[in-house]
Structure 1
């Protein structure tokens, strides 16, 4: 949710295009998040702790997308009453109340979504690298308290100070944190930090750091097993593909979330007067990125998960619409511990070195 510069009107054509594109992104993200939740409820083998955390993330992504979609459908621009001498839009009743509810729900969901994204990286680190069950149970409990508690506290505060509202500079046309200071940038900076920027930057640093540590741990295990001649080809392929899949977590997150930070750094923190084309482009990218995490997650955690993919492809297989060697696709696309298929077929080797490999790829995240 961009803050932007103080303006008293919309560029109707460009903002309308951004709102329609944001609406499509919200719908696709909602569908993706719903599929992730549905797969967890329907497919018993994938009901693992990392999938459980992913479901909490998907619930927040679904909530955020639906809240913004409602804001877009209501089209607050049509319910603004004229206030002379003020650049801050005032909504007519009851849309002013609806705006606060929609903005508050979206604010809670986006902060919680960022924290749950960090939570996945934290859990994977403690499960794969540390691998101490008692410590992991404590970590999971702290994740629940943090990812549900901090957003609730912040949302209560911003609603209490009436910081939620409709702003002409909103990236997509929904209600969010509004600018509290029209004369200075002090209020804008505070709101930008508590809005998204602080949490995006913290999440980026944490996810990149933890995924990097897991990456180096996996590479270390591969080198150890090669040197001890205990590495089987299928185990090597599994770990390498797991390692590659792991790198997508920070990359996708940065691509989706960086545009808010870039825009606010330029316009709020440094007061740069952006060219119209650049401003519209950043707003468009932010509107798409803010509402697309559910879509990206369903591709990463469902489309590329053989167990989930086979389950949802059953109706097409029965009608003869889809054919092919599923076992070959499963071998090429499998990444068991990250995607949490719950399968243990790679963990039944008698060699101790191979057992160590399978514990990284399966047991450590399907516990």
Structure 2
């Protein structure tokens, strides 16, 4: 592949940076409302806090990537060469950002799957074992230590850093100068494989849950089925679709740039399409924290009522205390 130069448009950096900031702010609101509203602190909401922590770390990593890219490549085109072994300025930051985003993305997929298992089991199987203390410990071991092990192996192999291959973006990740086949293998192990598993697994569980409720002619009032869930927990059914819509673009870019030949990739129409996918990915990869805020704060009536009171202060202080007590 001949070397080409790429300078990401300003809007790519703006989209990634703004999406990251919105997700961090959304995550802070989720943490704050969990702390303030005792009535919403069921086990599902606790799991959401862990998921939100992972999503906030993803956004922090991408925000670091935006700042680093602006410093390193400001006014200088980035040369694409899949065999490049160039050390750039702030290389340690690049590796650190790769560690953070790889770890937290994997953790996010795993916590999303855990929440799906918990809600499906509570409604369909009618078991509360998913809330047991030993299960709680297992969740933490699996969701934090699995990504840690994968990232540690990548660090040991010196596989994390700058990517100069076709379609490179703001962020650092798996290096582009690895032996033949290693990039694809580790992309599956450290990212794409987990994404695909998360999409299929959560999609199946939540769709089965909706059909289960309809076949039993039950209104979607989860609290009437089990007192361990709130009615608003039904919003989790939409999580898999949110992840799909946010991550689809990077998922598609990976398969196109990995399995298409050079002539196809360099065609004008394909180049424009890949640029469109990069624009969408620039927003989507950092966006889950913000959209979780929309689902679980804006679309959660008790939380929305509290936030309206807290933000606009149109209600009397006793009303705020009543919301804290009775939501």
Task: Tell me the TM-score range normalised by the shorter chain.
Answer: 0.7 to 0.9
Instruction: Answer yes or no: is the 8 Å Cα contact 1:54–1:120 preserved in 2.
Output: yes
The aligned runs of 1:96-245 (5 Å cut-off) are: 96-134=91-129, 136-137=131-132, 138-169=134-165, 171-181=168-178, 184=180, 186-222=181-217, 245=235
CA distances 1:106-142 after superposition (whole Å, capped 9, x unpaired)? 1101110111111111111111112222354254433
What RMSD, in angstroms, separates the aligned Cα atoms of the two structures?
3.4
Determine helix, strand or coil for the equivalent of 1:91: coil
Unaligned 5+ segments in structure 1 are 1-5, 226-230, 321-340, 345-367
1:31 aligns with 2:25: yes
Q: How far 1:145 sits from its partner (Å)?
A: 1.6
Instruction: Answer yes or no: is the 8 Å Cα contact 1:171–1:284 preserved in 2.
Output: no
Whole-angstrom CA distance in 2 between matches of 1:85 and 1:287 = 21
Instruction: Answer yes or no: is the 8 Å Cα contact 1:89–1:168 preserved in 2.
Output: no
- Cα 1:316–1:113 change in 2 (3 A) is closer
TM-score, normalization by structure 1: 0.73
Unaligned 5+ segments in structure 2 are 316-323
Aligned residues: 304
The aligned runs of 1:284-323 (5 Å cut-off) are: 284-319=279-314
- Cα 1:342–1:266 change in 2 (3 A) is farther
Alignment partner, residue 257 of structure 1: 247
Of structures 1 and 2, the larger Rg is shown by 1
- Cα 1:65–1:279 change in 2 (3 A) is same
CA distances 1:190-221 after superposition (whole Å, capped 9, x unpaired)? 13212321011000111011102211221133
- Cα 1:264–1:317 change in 2 (3 A) is closer
Whole-angstrom CA distance in 2 between matches of 1:9 and 1:51 = 48
Alignment partner, residue 70 of structure 1: 64
Instruction: Answer yes or no: is the 8 Å Cα contact 1:67–1:106 preserved in 2.
Output: yes
